[in-house]
Amino acid sequence: WKSKGYASGYEVMSKAVTDSLAKVTKGEQVTIVTDASSCSGGLTELLASQPHLRVVDSIQYVEENILSKLSITKVRSVALHPTCSTTSMGINSSLTNLAKAIADEVFIPENWGCCAFAGDRGLTFPELTASATQEQANEIKAREDSFHISANRTCEIGMSKATGKKYRHILEVLEDMATS
């Protein structure tokens, strides 16, 4: 809503979310874990005035609470696409640490930048994503990595379209590589 400039829709949805959370949490301390970095960033901003509600991105939660308990079979290399949201929230280190748990080499393109998928804008204007990702896509296409990973589904769609490689959420790959 907000990123598209729909201020009134954003206000309606913000109120619906905060009202629902108030009803469910009843003012108690609660940690809310989200699995899309853009949602984590948006909720953190939305709930800033409610200190009893702590928003944690799933990659940060897994790094802090689960990673040390896993046995993981590593692959040679992964290509990692940090998202705008993981960057603005300051959690790229968590993303990179999870990637290092999966692979011996973590490749982030020298020309890494925003994929410009912007929610669903990349579906409507694919040329936007193609232009924004051209240099990093060329770097990715020149490599053979075992996995291509990120932390937000729309970024994964955009990067998959740009590179011709299948991008997946880092936690999906981590789950596949973890052994019991």
Co-location of 46 and 122 in the same domain: no
- Pick out the chain residues at pLDDT < 70: 180
Co-location of 94 and 167 in the same domain: yes
User: What pLDDT is attached to residue 100?
Assistant: 98
Co-location of 41 and 76 in the same domain: no
For residue 116 the two structure tokens come to: 């410009």
Long-range contacts (CB closer than 8 Å, 24 or more residues apart) made by 11-15: 14/46
Domain span at residue 47 reads: 7-62
User: What pLDDT is attached to residue 122?
Assistant: 78
pLDDT in tens, 94-145: 999 999 999 999 999 999 988 887 777 778 888 888 888 899 999 999 999 9
Q: Any bridge partners for residue 147, and if so which?
A: 78
Indicate which CATH number applies to the domain containing 147.
3.40.50
CB 155 within 8 Å of CB 115: yes
Co-location of 53 and 97 in the same domain: no
Co-location of 103 and 58 in the same domain: no
76 within a domain of the structure (yes/no): yes
Backbone angles phi, psi at 162, to 5 degrees: -70, -35
Q: What is the pTM of this model?
A: 0.87
1 within a domain of the structure (yes/no): no
Return the SS3 of 40: helix
Co-location of 75 and 127 in the same domain: yes
C-alpha gyration radius of the chain:
17
d(CA 68, CA 70): 6
User: What pLDDT is attached to residue 180?
Assistant: 58
Last residue of a domain, one of 35, 62, 89: 62
